[in-house]
Amino acid sequence: MAESTLWTLSIAAVTGATAVLASWVTSRGATRAARIQAETAADSQRRERLRESRRTAYLDLIEQTHRMGELFWEVSAVLQQPRTASGVAALRQLSDRQLTEYATLRRCARVVELEGPPAAAEAARAVQRSTGEFHRAIRHALGDQDGSAAWSAAEERIDAAYSPYWATLEAFVDAARDAHQGK
């Protein structure tokens, strides 16, 4: 009978040890699975926040580019009229607005540079640089003392700058789409 009790105690000890070991292994597995799940969820949230912040930056730049385009149309409309004192005054006001709008465009481009990726950042810088010809044409029209020749030349320069300006926006939209879709 003593052997039977010893045998029963041995089996009970092995069974208990096995249960404790199984519980410990299960606990470690569950802890590891929970950690992996938490890391995956945090990574997913991080990617979604980046995606949304990029999307906002891209949309802000696109919106500002359109505002600048509308302003350039206004400048073009003034330059299509004969040069008069009121036309020069209107062009000066538009020039001031252009500087303000450009500052906003530059800020939008910088945010895109910050958010990335590099292809979208370079495309944003190209949009920003493409406004230079408009600015130079406006300054030229305002700086000329005799007037009408510079006025006409500025109108021609602005008209010639539209296609490259909109082309840089299209290139930016393509780069932003690729970045947004993870290409």
pLDDT in tens, 41-76: 777 888 888 889 999 999 999 999 999 999 999 999
Q: Which residue has the higher pLDDT, 2 or 129?
A: 129
Question: Residue 141 CB: number of other CB atoms within 10 A?
Answer: 26
DSSP 53-118: HHHHHHHHHHHHHHHHHHHHHHHHHHHTSPP-HHHHHHHHHHHHHHHHHHHHHHHHHHHHHHH--H
pLDDT the model gives residue 147: 64
Residue 6 dihedral angles phi and psi, to the nearest 5°: -65, -45
* Average pLDDT over every residue of 90-95: 96
What's 22-67 look like in SS3?
A: HHHHHHHHHHHHHHHHHHHHHHHHHHHHHHHHHHHHHHHHHHHHHH
Check whether the bond before 164 is cis (ω within 30° of 0): no
pLDDT the model gives residue 54: 92
Query: Minimum mean pLDDT among 21-30, 73-82, 116-125, 152-161: which range?
Result: 21-30
- Largest Cα separation within the chain, whole Å, is 126
Instruction: Name the residue with tokens 């539209």.
Output: 162
- Model confidence at 146, pLDDT cuts 50, 70, 90, reads low
pLDDT the model gives residue 18: 76
pLDDT the model gives residue 144: 65
The dihedral region occupied by 147, where left means phi > 0, alpha psi between -120 and 50, and beta the remainder, is: left
pLDDT the model gives residue 3: 67
* Average pLDDT over every residue of 27-32: 74
Q: Can you tell me the distance from the alpha carbon of 53 to that of 62, in angstroms, rounded to the nearest whole number? A: 14
* One-letter amino acid for residue 16 of the chain: G
Task: Map out the domains of the chain with their CATH numbers.
Answer: 50-180 (1.20.120)
pLDDT the model gives residue 40: 79
Q: Residue 1 above 60 pLDDT?
A: no
Q: Which residue has the higher pLDDT, 36 or 93?
A: 93
